[in-house]
Amino acid sequence: MDLLALIMDVENVPGALRDIAGVIADHRGNIVHITQESEGELARLYMEIEGVERPKALISSLRALDVVRSVERVRPLKDIYGKRVIIMGGGAQVAEVAKGAITEADRHNIRGERISVDTIPLVGEENLAEAVRAVARLPRVGILVLAGSLMGGKITDAVKELREEHGIPVISLNMAGSVPEVADLVVTDPVQAGVMAVMAVSSAGVFDLSRVRGKRF
């Protein structure tokens, strides 16, 4: 069964989400992703649901709820934006990694894949460590690239957690500090790092990160 993606405008009142979840459970659906934006009297929900055998029946049941104003079926985000490459660190290095990643992603996406590239320039050990840990809370993340001149300490601890507890691979630029020692792959050229990150998450590529794990290029 295909993943069912829905956008709903609902009344921003206590118990609305409970009522919606109850209807989905009655249709044997399992919510695998949900986001909510609230403004005034209305909230907009985006849900991805698996296991629904009769999508039209579920949508009809949701529309019948008093708290629901509208329900629209849309394409799942993974079909539109696909896997995500996250790049963070110093602005100059992030820009160069993004150049390689975007160029390579374009080559894959023009052939039907979906790979997106997200960047955030950040400085400071605390800020970077917090951002690395937050990657685990983002949907559809395929890989993280750390781009900078010096990273270690709390950032290294965060990288270990991201890899070991959440299974998200990390590519590091060849920099000072202890982060390169715990990354899956260390790449000196930032443009090449971006290219290799996209190749690692591509379903059509032949690059296998596990075969070069722990190496430096």
Residue 214: the pLDDT is 74
The model's pTM: 0.84
pLDDT of residue 1: 57
Q: Which range, of 36-40, 122-126, 150-154, averages the lowest pLDDT?
A: 36-40
CA-based R_g, the chain, Å: 20
Cα gap 202→114, rounded to integer Å: 9
The Cα 74–Cα 82 span in angstroms is: 15
Q: What does the alpha-carbon distance between residue 100 and residue 199 come to, in Å, rounded to a whole number? A: 11
Res 53: pLDDT: 92
Residue 27 main-chain phi, psi, to 5 deg: -95, 15
pLDDT at 177: 94
Q: What is the mean pLDDT of the chain?
A: 93
Q: What is the pLDDT of residue 98?
A: 97
Question: E strand or H helix at 195, and its extent?
Answer: helix 190-201
Angle at 208 between CA 204 and CA 211, to 5 degrees: 165
The structure tokens 């590529």 sit at 205
For 170-211, write each residue's pLDDT tens digit: 999 999 999 999 999 999 999 999 999 999 999 877 777 777
Q: What is the DSSP string of 201-212?
A: H-SS----GGGT
What b-and-e string marks burial along 150-181, b requiring 16 or more CB atoms within 10 Å of the CB?
Answer: ebbeebbebbeebbeeeebbbbbbebebebbe
